[in-house]
Structure 1
Amino acid sequence: MKEIAALVPKTSQTIVVSIDLGTSGTGFAYAHVKDTQGKVFNNVDWDGQSFKYCKTLSAILYEGNTRVAIGHNARETINDQEEDSSNNNYHFIEHFKMNFMKDPNSTIHVNGKGFSVKKVMKDYLEEIKTVALEFIKKSETSLRKEMIRWVFTVPAQYDDRLKHELKLIAKEAGIIEKINSEEQCMIVTEPEAAAVYCIEEMKKDREIKKGDSIIIMDAGGGTVDFTTHIINDQMLLREVTQQTGGSHGSTNLDRKFEELLVNKLGQDLIDDLKSNMSSFYNVKVAWESYKPKIRSLNKTYSILVPQLASFIMSGNYHNIKPGFFRTQNATISMTPADLEFVYNETLEQICGLLDQQISKASAELGTERITYLFIVGGFGQCQILTDKIAREFGDQFESIRTPSFAGEAIMNGAALLGINPSLIKIRRARLTYGVETSPEFDTKIHKRENYIRKDGRHLCSKVFHPFVRAGEEVEIGYEAAQEFYALGETAEICVYSSVCDFMDEDVVYVDDLMVSELAVISIKVPQDARTIRVTMIFGKSEFLVKVENDDQEQEEYTLKFDAKSLDMRQ
């Protein structure tokens, strides 16, 4: 494998700014490119937020089509408009990241009005950009846009299409100018960013050593992601397994809590509550504020919800279960059975994913015990979750840690990766990447319907030729290059991907269901030299593809994105 130097921003780019756009909360961090100490700065003072924290709410409020506020300000604005809270002209939108992940072309409907999720993301990121630049300019008075490299973090399960869509939104929001420039913009996964920050922090105290293995569990509002790394001889990270994850974040607890309210109070009451924007969100705030205080599933907790009491007293509801809500002191009484209803499903799903990650890591490393488990993310600070992990998996790790910096680990690690992407030395390919070829026809292995005859040669059409297979290790800067003989005056190199890991002896065709077209690259073929060289360079958060003829000509190409896609630099 060919080793290349770390990709460092150009001289004019002196600042790296990372944005951790989460399901529940969003924050940013920045660092100086030339700061060898790796100091990262966070904003902990957000408008409308009564406490210091590195994130604000991932929420936005519209009045009609006009955005009014984001974050806690958006929620506070609803409360300020309590007299008009039933006015359908107000549209409060949160958790839009999950809508984007499910379908970036989807529409979010609020109070009878639809909002494109892309518009919501764009509007929200515009506001975050403004806050970030104002914060940085307090220290960097001469800051200019061209001095910044932006880094965005995404869940492990984002495919390349979603990463590309995010870049397009960032461009529309005025954050970046070119989507295919790594100097301007990088995308890194949340668990690998967290891994980098955890390891860099441990290096400061000399707690980490060569050969240590680390599983990162990033438990956020929408997703819970896992990645496993080992420390190599250069004290850099080598990815051991493919990153995995699922939509099992803390917002699932909110969904189950709402189901509990329906079961205990009746659907009619909850429907009426939702029609009153202020009352409904006050109930949600009461629950979300109380969640950190719930430390055991074996106790009964009383949650003060005065808005719910006044709402119940003003109506005539007959489906309220006795004992759940006490009107006299305006509290919800959550018993162990209620808590299990809210928590257990999500906890079991997370434990199942962690068990799978441990099994894969142990098999790859040849050991039954991993050195460290780091639990980060906002949901990672939930004691019920960490206690369950410790009970069920404590004997499979030398140490399980929930660091004090769990909330900022992702954004800070992303900033460090923006300065030096080679902190992660080896990654695992998420997909199998290759090109369409036409090898000599072999009656023993090729489909008869794919037989073609061209220039007197017997060929098999539409054969998928892999360069790198899913799950295979790829070092930073690894170049997979192969030469092909081209027929005709112009060669069309069709690039494909697949979620499958094919064996060498497998014959796979590009029109199979599990194979997706990414791009078609055209290049002229010299008459006296018909060799075409295709090079794929892997290992960064994106990779590039080069197509070259024997005259060393390299053609520009336009990339088309399909159901599965690939972000390549032109």
Structure 2
Amino acid sequence: MSWFSNIISIFTSRFRIDDKKDERNSDMSLSKPLLVAAIDFGTTYSSWAFSLLNEYESDPTQMSAKQWQGHDSTKGPTTVLIQPDGITLEAFGFEAETRYAELIDEEKHDSYYFFKRFKMKLWDKKIERDMLIEDENSRHLSAKTVFALAIKWLKDDLWRVSNDRISGTIRENEIHWVLTVPAIWDNTAKQFMREAAKQAGIKEKKLTVALEPEAASLFCRHLPVERSGNETSLGKLKAGQRYLVLDAGGGTIDITVHEVLQSMDVKELFKASGGAWGGTKVDEAFKGFINDIAGFDAMGDLKRKHLDDFIDLFRRFENKKRSISPDKDSKTVIPLPLSLCSLIENRQGRALCDIIKNTSYASSVSMTNEKVKIDASVARWFFDTSVSSTVEHLKNILSSPVNRGVEAILVVGGFSESPMLQHAVGKEFGALKRIVPREASLAVLKGAVIFGHNPNAITERISKLTYGVKTTQLFDKAKHDPTKKIFYDGEARCDDIFSKHVEIGQKLKIGQAQSKERYTVCEINQTSADFPIFTTYQKDPMYTTNPGCTRVGKLSVPLSGSGLDRWASVRFIFGGTEIDVEATEESTGKVHNLNIDFLV
């Protein structure tokens, strides 16, 4: 049964469906953009990069990337400082952290909004257009505003820096933008980011959403051996060979499996999956460790009363955790803020060095001159949750029959530089080649630029869910639930039928419509038809009310003019990073490129 093959329920039934399919090819010939600019919006760090078309055609890996002056870094912290009016950006990145510390010293910080590591607010939560998020001082502001201001700063900074090269040859509105998101994010989060980018001044038609592990895969596919830092590079893999992409970021671990095609493009073999097990899990473990030895929520107190010291402590820990290794027994030494030591002493009546002696850490942790010295065994424990969750998930993926024959694991992302993660993956999956490129932390960013130049390089993806719409069918007492019987124009019908469009695990070719239907109005003055969209992890649900079926969005198809003889041919395309819909009004030939609204 094809999607929308029956008259839709009374709630959305103001149209009819014609069995004749619209077989026209919707491939549009789009001119290649002269400049592609990518924004890698990360949980912990963000940055931008760009390349001109002639650079891409000469060497896809040749591009310009942001250099954060004074910090010897290609990425800056995803940190936003907003003025008291709640709409004006004060600073972003390192400058936001520095400026906020100055405001604290001047005792002027209370009226400002300071956001750090806020990207994960869009993970595994109900997202709404007007949702609020909490800043580091427990104040609330529009999430859309915070994300949009961050994107706008990165966009404007790229234009300012790049203008020296392209001034007079390319206008700002001629740039094609790419924005990265985790592959495990749902459609609602992707749409939220797209709308935030629009609010930041990026035109909708000038924006492509790139999935982070896919982008990293594309970048590493173009790296020759001498630049990949490995004896084996993805560029050497031949048609038919398979590899797994492990994108280890600050917030999420994103995993997907690719197969190389004869064209040397790639297709997805297994639906993207993962979880919130990135580098911030290690930070959480360190925070818990400090609270354990202090005997109360000392880190919470430090954050509330001395936020600048709290930020500085985790900046130090970020540097230290890169050197924690499974084969080194040296102690990890981290200077603690004097304010933290004072908070603990005032609360407990004893110095932290004395408190430690009466804890389970007495033989493995010590204090000297406000520096905590941590034995290697304890420091390695900080990584347990993140690393074990990642390895276990990898085991499950690689044990699936569809992934049989995977030959290599590509490890990318900022957290991929951790010796602890690299060792765990190598130890558990030693039979597979392990590829960690020299530019592992920039692979997503630079791959996003390549994706912008060639968005068809990922030719096939796997549906993560079953998609369908609520419909009705002629009531059949032999198979339908009698409680769902309704009458429409005197005809008995079964309500809440799940009319399936694509199935979980289904192969989705890019640019290929998974459904083509014709719809007509049922009312003379009807101007549109609205469809409720449902998803589920079930392969073939009967009703939209089945456990696990969720209404996730709505599609509105415009129908102009008046009268009953008005038809629209609608094509649904699921193979891209977002769902595309094209509707053609047959009476006028007018084509509408539509989006499913997931933020309803």
CA distance in 1, matches of 2:336, 2:487: 79
- 1:122 pairs with one of 139, 143, 148: 148
Pair 1:283 & 2:313 matched? yes
Q: Which has the higher contact order (CA 8 A, sep 6+)?
A: 2
**Residue aligning to 1:568:** none
Query: Is the alpha carbon distance of 1:64 and 1:508 closer, same or farther for their aligned partners in structure 2, counting shifts above 3 Å?
Result: same
Deviation at 1:345, TM superposition (A): 1.4
CA distance in 2, matches of 1:8, 1:56: 37
After superposing the two structures, state which structure 1 stretch, 124-133 or 57-66, moved more: 57-66
Pair 1:61 & 2:81 matched? yes
Pair 1:537 & 2:537 matched? no
Q: Please report the TM-score for the alignment, with normalisation by the length of structure 2.
A: 0.82
The answer to whether the Cα contact below 8 Å between 1:309 and 1:330 also exists between their aligned partners in 2 is no
- 1:292 pairs with one of 319, 322, 325: 322
Matches within 5 A, 1:187-206: 187-202=209-224, 206=235
Superimposed CA distance per residue, residues 306-329 of structure 1 (whole angstroms, 9 cap, x where no aligned partner): 634894499544263135765544
The answer to whether the Cα contact below 8 Å between 1:18 and 1:150 also exists between their aligned partners in 2 is yes
CA distance in 1, matches of 2:289, 2:578: 43
- 2:451 pairs with one of 404, 411, 417: 417
After superposing the two structures, state which structure 1 stretch, 515-524 or 273-282, moved more: 515-524
Amino acid at match of 1:338: V
Query: Is the alpha carbon distance of 1:82 and 1:537 closer, same or farther for their aligned partners in structure 2, counting shifts above 3 Å?
Result: closer
**Residue aligning to 1:100:** 122
The answer to whether the Cα contact below 8 Å between 2:253 and 2:278 also exists between their aligned partners in 1 is yes
After superposing the two structures, state which structure 1 stretch, 290-299 or 480-489, moved more: 480-489
The answer to whether the Cα contact below 8 Å between 1:7 and 1:422 also exists between their aligned partners in 2 is no
SS at match of 1:545: strand
Matches within 5 A, 1:31-430: 31-34=51-54, 35-37=56-58, 38-49=60-71, 51=72, 53-62=73-82, 64-65=84-85, 67-80=89-102, 83-84=105-106, 88-89=110-111, 91-101=113-123, 102=125, 104=127, 105-111=131-137, 113-142=139-168, 143-174=170-201, 176-177=202-203, 179=204, 181=205, 184-202=206-224, 206-267=235-296, 269-274=298-303, 275-296=305-326, 299-305=329-335, 307-308=337-338, 311-312=341-342, 315-316=345-346, 317-318=349-350, 320-322=355-357, 327-360=367-400, 363-365=401-403, 367=404, 369-395=405-431, 397=432, 399-430=433-464
CA distance in 1, matches of 2:468, 2:108: 55
After superposing the two structures, state which structure 1 stretch, 309-318 or 106-115, moved more: 309-318
Query: Is the alpha carbon distance of 1:304 and 1:461 closer, same or farther for their aligned partners in structure 2, counting shifts above 3 Å?
Result: closer
- 1:473 pairs with one of 490, 501, 507: 507
Query: Is the alpha carbon distance of 1:18 and 1:271 closer, same or farther for their aligned partners in structure 2, counting shifts above 3 Å?
Result: closer
Query: Is the alpha carbon distance of 1:487 and 1:348 closer, same or farther for their aligned partners in structure 2, counting shifts above 3 Å?
Result: same
Amino acid at match of 2:536: V
Amino acid at match of 1:42: S
Query: Is the alpha carbon distance of 1:356 and 1:552 closer, same or farther for their aligned partners in structure 2, counting shifts above 3 Å?
Result: farther
Unaligned runs of 5+ in 1: 566-570
Amino acid at match of 2:477: T
The answer to whether the Cα contact below 8 Å between 2:302 and 2:339 also exists between their aligned partners in 1 is no
CA distance in 1, matches of 2:26, 2:236: 27
Matches within 5 A, 1:482-501: 482-483=516-517, 488-489=522-523, 492=529, 494-501=531-538
CA distance in 2, matches of 1:189, 1:153: 6
The answer to whether the Cα contact below 8 Å between 2:324 and 2:380 also exists between their aligned partners in 1 is no
SS at match of 1:352: helix
Query: Is the alpha carbon distance of 1:482 and 1:436 closer, same or farther for their aligned partners in structure 2, counting shifts above 3 Å?
Result: farther
Amino acid at match of 2:213: P
Amino acid at match of 1:514: C
Amino acid at match of 1:173: A
Q: Please report the TM-score for the alignment, with normalisation by the length of structure 1.
A: 0.86
CA distance in 1, matches of 2:272, 2:164: 37
Deviation at 1:224, TM superposition (A): 0.5
Amino acid at match of 2:286: F
Superimposed CA distance per residue, residues 357-382 of structure 1 (whole angstroms, 9 cap, x where no aligned partner): 2123xx114x3x41110000010110
CA distance in 1, matches of 2:152, 2:415: 26
Superimposed CA distance per residue, residues 108-157 of structure 1 (whole angstroms, 9 cap, x where no aligned partner): 14335333332221222221112111121121122312211111110122
Deviation at 1:218, TM superposition (A): 0.4
Amino acid at match of 1:147: E
For the aligned residues, what is the CA RMSD? Answer: 3.4
Deviation at 1:542, TM superposition (A): 2.2
The answer to whether the Cα contact below 8 Å between 1:297 and 1:339 also exists between their aligned partners in 2 is no
**Residue aligning to 2:3:** none
Deviation at 1:531, TM superposition (A): 7.4
The answer to whether the Cα contact below 8 Å between 1:228 and 1:241 also exists between their aligned partners in 2 is yes
- 2:38 pairs with one of 6, 9, 18: 18
CA distance in 2, matches of 1:188, 1:408: 14
The answer to whether the Cα contact below 8 Å between 1:377 and 1:406 also exists between their aligned partners in 2 is yes
**Residue aligning to 1:431:** 465
Query: Is the alpha carbon distance of 1:195 and 1:269 closer, same or farther for their aligned partners in structure 2, counting shifts above 3 Å?
Result: closer
The answer to whether the Cα contact below 8 Å between 1:532 and 1:548 also exists between their aligned partners in 2 is yes
SS at match of 1:151: strand
Query: Is the alpha carbon distance of 1:159 and 1:561 closer, same or farther for their aligned partners in structure 2, counting shifts above 3 Å?
Result: same
Unaligned runs of 5+ in 2: 1-22, 228-232
| Number of residue pairs matched by the alignment | 547
After superposing the two structures, state which structure 1 stretch, 127-136 or 194-203, moved more: 194-203
Query: Is the alpha carbon distance of 1:270 and 1:188 closer, same or farther for their aligned partners in structure 2, counting shifts above 3 Å?
Result: closer
CA distance in 2, matches of 1:235, 1:3: 28
After superposing the two structures, state which structure 1 stretch, 450-459 or 330-339, moved more: 450-459
**Residue aligning to 2:483:** 449
Amino acid at match of 1:386: Q
CA distance in 2, matches of 1:271, 1:467: 48
Deviation at 1:484, TM superposition (A): 6.1
